[in-house]
Copies of this chain bind each other. A is one copy, B any other.
C-alpha cells in the first residue's frame, strides 16, 4: 500500500505543472498589486512606492499565502488583500535595506534601487508608506470573514515585520558585518528573522484566514520555517555560483564582504544537502493535507532547484 501510495503521489506530482501555476499566480498578484496603489497627489511618493512594488520579483510570499489559504479550504478572494500586504512589507524591507546607511546597494531586481532614483528621503518615506498601507489594506479589504481572524493576521504580520522579525534580523545582520567569528546560532537567528519570519507569516496567515485548527497552523508554521531556512541557504549558494545577470543584483557580494554564510561554514556540497533535507522535512508537514498540498510541496522543491 505504501509503495502504491508513493507511486500515485509521484504520478500526481508529475501531472502538476508548477511553472504554469507560478506564472498564472504571479500574474494574478501583479494585477492585484497594480490596482492596490493608485497615483494621487503628491505623485512622487505614490510613484516611488509603485516603482519598487511593481518591479517584478518572484511574488513567492503572496503566492504562498494564496496557496495555503486554498489548501486549507479557503478562497483566493479571502487571502488576496493579505497576499498583497506581505509583498508590500517585503518591498518595504528591500527599499530600507538597500539604503546607503544599511547595505548601500545600487541595484535590485536588475533595476536601480529606490533611493538611486528618488533620493534617500523619498526612499525612506516610500518604505514607511508601504508598511502603513499594508496594514490598512488588510483591515480595509478583507471582506466577509470574522473580524478576529483578520486581527490575528494583522498581529502576525506586525510581529513578522518588527523587532521580533525582519527588523530584529536586519539589526543582527548589520552587527555581524565584517566579523568572521559569527556562530551558526547567530546566523540562524539572522535568517529565521530576516527571511523565514515573513515567509512564515505569509503561509500561516493563509491558514488563519481559512479558519485552520491550531494544530494545522503549527504544521504550516514548521513547513514555512523549514522552507525559509532552505531559501536562505540556496540564496547563499547562488551568491557564489550564479552570475549577476541571473540574480538581477550584484553577485559574489558575500564573499567580497567576507560575510559568514552557510557555504562558508559548511561548504557548498553540505549546504546543498542540508537545504534538501529541510525541504523534505517541510514536505512531511503537509502529509495531512493530501493532494491539495501539491502546490505548496512543489514550491518547496522549487526553492532548492531555482538558479536565481
Contacts and interface: CB of A to CB of B under 8 A. Distances in A.
Contacts of A147: 146-148, 150-151
Interface stretch (A9-17, A133-141, A246-254): A133-141
Interface residues of A, number: 54
A168 B42 contact: yes
The copy count of this chain in the complex is 2
A159 interface: yes
Nearest to A133: B162
A82 to B, nearest CB: 13
Given A124-B124, A174-B121, A167 B132 contact: yes
A48 to B, nearest CB: 9
Contacts of A165: 132
Interface in A90-104: 92, 96, 99, 101-102
A158 interface: yes
Contacts of A130: 162
Contacts of A154: 135-136, 139, 151, 154
A42 B96 contact: no
A277 to B, nearest CB: 27
Given A99-B124, A133-B162, 11 more contacts: A42-B168, A45-B167, A99-B121, A101-B119, A101-B120, A121-B174, A122-B174, A124-B124, A135-B154, A139-B155, A151-B154
22 contacts: A40-B163, A40-B164, A42-B168, A42-B171, A42-B172, A44-B171, A46-B163, A101-B121, A101-B124, A102-B121, A102-B124, A122-B171, A127-B128, A128-B166, A132-B167, A133-B163, A134-B158, A136-B159, A137-B158, A139-B152, A140-B151, A147-B151
